[in-house]
Amino acid sequence: MRRRDWLAVATLCLALGSVQGAGAQDYPTRPVTIISDAAAGSTPDVDARFIADGLGKIWHQQVIVVDHPGASGGIAARLAAEAQPDGYTLYMPALATFITQPGQVPNLPLQVPRDFAAIGFTAENPMFFAVNPQLGVSTLPQLIALAKQKPGEISYATTGVGRLTHLTGELLQMRAGIKLLLVPYNGGPARAASDVAQGRVSFIIEGYSGIAAAIKSGSLKAIAVASAERLPDFPDLPTVAETLPGFAATGWQLMVAPKGTPDAIIQKVSRDLITVTKDPGLKANLGRLGSYSRSMDVAQAIAFAHDQQEMWAPVLKQVAAKTK
């Protein structure tokens, strides 16, 4: 190639790089949509709205959360995958979208970076165990003892089959050596919490924000939380691990983007997301709802998702065995 042609190619590459860099620097210039697979009022939905508010303040643009629950996260995953990879549609899938029985839902479980471009971590929310006060138990050991006396009769409410609430119940049965009756609900925790409060179901497994009102009113009684240690906002609430050592079940959400989204935009959103998750005001707001922000870059978020998939594999195998 002649020297003049080399100079032309080099000039073109520099121009393209400048355009891409400017685009990322100016991003976003219009509202951004975050797709969520959560039901309205659920813990992941509330977390997503706090994160969206924080990003909106940084970007000086409206950031809209749109919930698409159903099919164990499959509906939201499909919509997000089909979105234009321009940075104006982001996706905040919950743990269950990554941790689900293969073949149960088309195109799930998700893998990053195979299916989406990872951006970072948003929030985690340990599962709370809450009972109907009329059940006659005030602690997790008492609940386990009652379940051993009545195998298959003590029921628990979850927000769907294959979601973390369900998998936590399966893990409890494996670790405690008990048999429970699963009662799955669709459309968020409100109806499930109501049925437990009215005695139709024995207890519920859910993130705190989804059952906070019922706990505060006294219609539900929290007896344990599945965090590794007692939570600073709930110091008097025992952990499940105090009864079953090593037990942990914590929901979480990653932020991802459709494959093909420019890397410069991915990196910008990742940096801004880290800024949001480190904000003391956000941490305080989430903490009151039993959720906690964590900051991760792209590589850390990918590694975290892979580790979680390996951790939950034995529980998924147990669920698969039950359905055969």
Burial class (CB in 10 A: 0-12, 13-18, 19+), 76: buried
Residue 248, token pair as written in the block: 């942990």
Query: Does 22 fall in a domain?
Result: no
Clarify whether residues 237 and 310 are in a common domain: no
- CA dist 316 and 55 (Å) reads 35
CATH, residue 103: 3.40.190.150
Q: Measured between alpha carbons, how far is 56 from 9 in angstroms, rounded to an integer?
A: 39
- H/E segment holding residue 255: strand 250-258
Examine the domain organization and report whether 116 and 140 are in the same domain.
no
pTM comes to 0.80
β partners of residue 36: 67, 92
* Same domain as 200, residue 150: yes
CATH label of the domain that carries residue 231: 3.40.190.10
Q: Does residue 14 belong to any structural domain of this protein?
A: no
Per-residue confidence (pLDDT) for residue 161, from 0 to 100: 81
Residue 70: left (phi > 0), alpha (psi -120 to 50), or beta?
left
83 and 108 assigned to the same domain: yes
1 located within any domain:
no
Shared domain check, 287 and 189: no
* Residue 4: inside a domain: no
Q: Are residues 106 and 204 in the same domain?
A: no
Q: Name the domain count of the chain.
A: 2
Out of 242, 263, 279, pick the residue that ends a domain: 242
Whether residue 182 contacts residue 207, with contact meaning beta carbons closer than 8 Å, is answered with no
137 in the same domain as 229: yes
Out of 242, 261, 276, pick the residue that ends a domain: 242
pLDDT at residue 108, as a whole number: 86
- Based on the domain organization, do 134 and 226 belong to the same domain? yes
Domain-embedded: residue 257: yes
**By the 8 A CB rule, do 251 and 44 touch?**
yes
Q: What are the start-end ranges of the E strands in 12-159?
A: 32-36, 63-67, 89-92, 116-126, 128-131, 155-158
Residues in a beta bridge with 225:
128, 239
Same domain, yes or no: 197 and 158: yes
146 plus 229 within the same structural domain: yes
- The answer to whether position 17 is within a domain reads no
Q: Which of 185, 211, 242 is the last residue of a domain?
A: 242
Q: How high is the pLDDT of residue 18?
A: 42
User: Residue 289: which domain range?
Assistant: 29-124+252-323
**Ramachandran sector of residue 188 (left: φ over 0; alpha: ψ -120 to 50; beta: rest):** left
Peptide bond into 28 cis (omega under 30): yes
Whether residues 138 and 182 share a domain: the answer is: yes
Domain annotation covers residue 12 = no
Q: Are residues 171 and 101 located together in one domain of the fold?
A: no
List the chain pLDDT tens, one digit each, 324 residues: 454 554 444 454 444 444 444 457 889 999 999 999 888 888 888 899 999 999 999 999 999 999 998 887 889 999 999 999 999 999 999 888 898 877 777 778 999 999 999 999 999 999 999 999 999 999 999 999 999 999 999 999 998 787 889 999 999 999 999 999 999 998 778 899 999 999 999 999 999 988 999 999 999 999 999 998 999 889 999 999 999 999 999 989 999 999 999 999 999 999 999 999 999 999 999 988 889 999 999 999 999 999 999 988 888 888 777 766
Residues 6+ apart with CB under 8 A from 300: 120, 121
On whether the CB atoms of residues 312 and 249 are closer than 8 A, the answer is no
Longest dimension (CA), the chain: 87
Residue 23 within a domain: no
CB crowding 295-306: b at 16 or more within 10 Å, else e: bbbbeebbebbe
**Closest Cα to residue 126, out of 20, 23, 247?**
247
- In this structure, are residues 170 and 101 in contact, taking their beta carbons and an 8 Å threshold? no
Alpha carbon distance 107, 101 (integer Å): 11
